[in-house]
Amino acid sequence: MHPAARAQRDTFLRKLASPPAVMGILNLTPDSFSDGGRFADIDAAVAHATAMAAAGADVIDVGGESTRPEAAAVSAAEEFARSEPVLARLASEAGVPISIDTYKAEIAARAAQLGAIIVNDVWGLQKDPAMADTVAAAETALVIVHNRAEKDAALDIVADMERFFDRSLALAAKAGILRERIIIDPGIGFAKTSAQNRAAFEHIAKLKQRGLPILVGLSRKRFLGADAPALETLAGTIVANLAAATLGAAIFRVHDVAEHVAALKIFFDLRIP
């Protein structure tokens, strides 16, 4: 890892000891559920990332493949073609750390070479057998997201989450990924029923006992129960993220950066120790 990227990584990880940290979402996809197609143009993507950085984002999460339910899979070549020019420019222009949202080891390795300091793997090292070794070699931080191939309403989702994280953390340890570089995400909205999403949300406090920072990605998700279109659910997203903060979440992955930076600052400033 380049010394400048290493310094960014370590600065970001230190910040997690005194949250909150805001992760701005930059989808480069044509089919993401909320903002698909809005930032397919390179200049538009870079401008949006720069604006999120100026609004107070601590890191920008760049994704070249949609992870919404029933989204079409894309090849590594197509995913990299979407992300590479944006990552290359952000490394020099955005002035903020970059995360790569991918489950493919090949994309993670290339993104790290371009300066990404975090690999945000929505399959928690369990989709691509090469991912754990890739992350270890790149020395990036890692977000392990709980996920499943499909919904199962009969499943004890909390027990499944715990088993999943046990497996992912074992893979990370075997590959030599340092525990202090690992973040976990309960995967709200990933192959879960509405009831399971709520159970996963309520389990955040118990996940905190693992001693790892917790990231939540609640932004504009159906789990919030709003009847309004995705772009109109800001209030619900903010309330849900503040509730997650009370349970111990430290990192908040959001579309609306400025509003969350303000809301979280007030919330954490007013909290009674």
Q: Is 221 part of the annotated catalytic residue set?
A: yes
Contact call for residues 25 and 219 (beta carbons, < 8 A): yes
How do residues 166-220 score in pLDDT, each as one tens digit? 999 999 999 999 999 999 999 999 999 999 999 999 999 999 999 999 999 998 8
66-78: average pLDDT = 77
Q: What is the pLDDT of residue 71?
A: 61
Spell out the residues 6+ positions from residue 17 whose beta carbon is closer than 8 angstroms to its own. none
Most confident listed range (22-31, 74-83, 85-94, 170-179) = 170-179
Tokens 């772009």 — which residue?
A: 231
Determine the 3-state secondary structure of 197 from DSSP: helix
Most confident listed range (58-67, 100-109, 233-242) = 100-109
Q: What is the pLDDT of residue 224?
A: 73
With 0.75 as the threshold, say if the pTM is over it: yes
Domains annotated for the chain, with CATH where assigned, are 20-67+78-270 (3.20.20.20)
Q: Which listed residue (181, 208, 253, 265) is catalytic?
A: 253
Q: What is the pLDDT of residue 7?
A: 95
Contact call for residues 87 and 111 (beta carbons, < 8 A): yes
At residue 35 the predicted structure's pLDDT band, cuts being 50, 70 and 90, is very low
Q: What is the pLDDT of residue 34?
A: 52
Long-range contacts of 219-223 (CB under 8 A, 24+ apart): 219/25, 219/34, 219/253, 219/254, 219/255, 219/256, 220/33, 220/34, 220/255, 221/188, 221/189, 222/189, 223/188, 223/189, 223/192, 223/194, 223/197, 223/198
At 269, which amino acid appears? D
Sheet holding 59-63, edge to edge: 182-185, 141-145, 118-121, 98-101, 59-63, 21-27, 251-254, 215-216
Q: Which listed residue (68, 221, 222, 271) is catalytic?
A: 221
The span from the CA of 12 to the CA of 238, in Å, is 22
The span from the CA of 62 to the CA of 26, in Å, is 5
19-33: average pLDDT = 83
Is residue 164 packed enough to be buried (19+ CB in 10 Å), middle (13-18) or exposed (0-12)? buried
How do residues 128-158 score in pLDDT, each as one tens digit? 999 999 999 999 999 999 999 999 999 999 9
Q: Is 68 part of the annotated catalytic residue set?
A: no
Percent of the chain with pLDDT over 70: 91
Enter the tokens of residue 31. Answer: 């089919």
